Amino acid sequence: MAEFTMELNDEQKEVRDWLHGFAADVIRPAAAEWDEREETPWPVIQEAAKVGIYSLDFYAQQYFDPTGLGIPMAMEELFWGDAGIALSIVGTGLAAVGVLANGTDEQIGTWIPQMYGDASDVKVAAFCSSEPDAGSDVASMRTHAVYDEANDEWVLNGTKTWATNGGIANVHVVVAVVDPDLGSKGHASFIVPPDTPGLSQGQKFKKHGIRASHTAEVVLDGVRVPGSCLLGGKEKLDERLARAREKAKAGGERVKNAAMATFEASRPAVGAMAVGTARAAYEVALDYARTREQFGRPIIDNQGVAFQLADMRTSIDAARLLVWRASWMAVNGKPFTAAEGSMSKLFASETAKKVTAQAVQILGGNGYTREYPVERMHRDSAIYTIFEGTSEIQRLVIARTLAGMPIR
């Protein structure tokens, strides 16, 4: 087990500097254009693929970093560049992780390469979980999958929403109900291959922020996928469902929400995204305060501005430390006895919203215009307190954990 450290090693620093250079030289110059266009920045994703950032190998190397700092370090640097473009680059990773966590070796080898494509023909993937009536309450999911034993096929029907890359993805990973009596224990995940009949894009959302990232509904109307597309296989699913039914019948241990527990482990990465956006806004505000003069002196000489910057930097550093702690715990198998994953996401998300708002205020009228990036960063930051569990859900998870109650 790696010791917890606040110091990156030489290899991590090299990767950090490489990512920072890509964010500064490729992502930032394109940020305003793709925010205005509200389209997937395919040329930027292709550039990321060419240098090896948009690839399973890169994320696997960071994920298996024994210190736990590889993923949060990478997320912070990319989202420092621009949140919308960065989400377009890393969004496929959520679907890939779903396959890595639940799929067989054959499924991993077959489908993950198809999620990314290659530098000459990049592809994206989508993870489809949320629904119009089942966002935070994943137990209320209605999309269902029925097994057609005669044809060894699963038939999926329902509507997913808020799907990053939904409808434009080469591969969709869809969570569906296979046994409604078991709540979240009755869910399973399915691969929907490219060009499968019955899958279509519904509404594409015109968003307040992260506008370079494609977000849409995914409609599943009689979608048929081979039995081999059930992640983990039917034998494993049947065994899991049987255990869940026995526990429910015995009236013993409460069936816990497995999806919520999975989210708890992934939330530090979202916290790192928020730290990247907050740091970017702070740096713009700091530079502006040093060079903008009013009444014959830089505005940073005014205590009202200087104290804001001091609070901004303090909050960013505190958020990063919470993210790093939770990331180290997750990779080293330390239980989140106080919901440390949710703590990191909660604090970092709220910090991003506050810091970007302060940056707009420090820039004054300039901060309110699209001539300066803090306006976009402020809009982008709003998502962090919403997706991957709202701030209210984070507080609920933390409170229930402290009280010794199951997460649900």
Taking CA 272 as the corner, what is the angle to CA 267 and CA 275, rounded to the nearest 5 degrees?
130
- Helix (H) or strand (E) holding 331, with range, is helix 303-331
Instruction: Give the three-state DSSP class for 118.
Output: strand
Q: State the DSSP code for 327.
A: H
What radius of gyration do the chain's Cα atoms show?
A: 22
Structure tokens at 256: 């816990």
Spatial separation of the C-alpha atoms in residues 290 and 279, rounded to whole Å: 16
Active site residue 388: yes
Which candidate in 3, 375, 388, 392 is catalytic?
388
Residue 45 to residue 90: CA distance in whole angstroms: 9
Amino acid at 148: D
| Phi, psi dihedral angles at 179 (to 5 degrees) | -145, 100
**Whether the Cβ atoms of residue 223 and residue 196 lie closer than 8 Å to each other:** yes
Torsion 349-21-34-129 (CA) sign: negative
Active-site residue numbers? 388
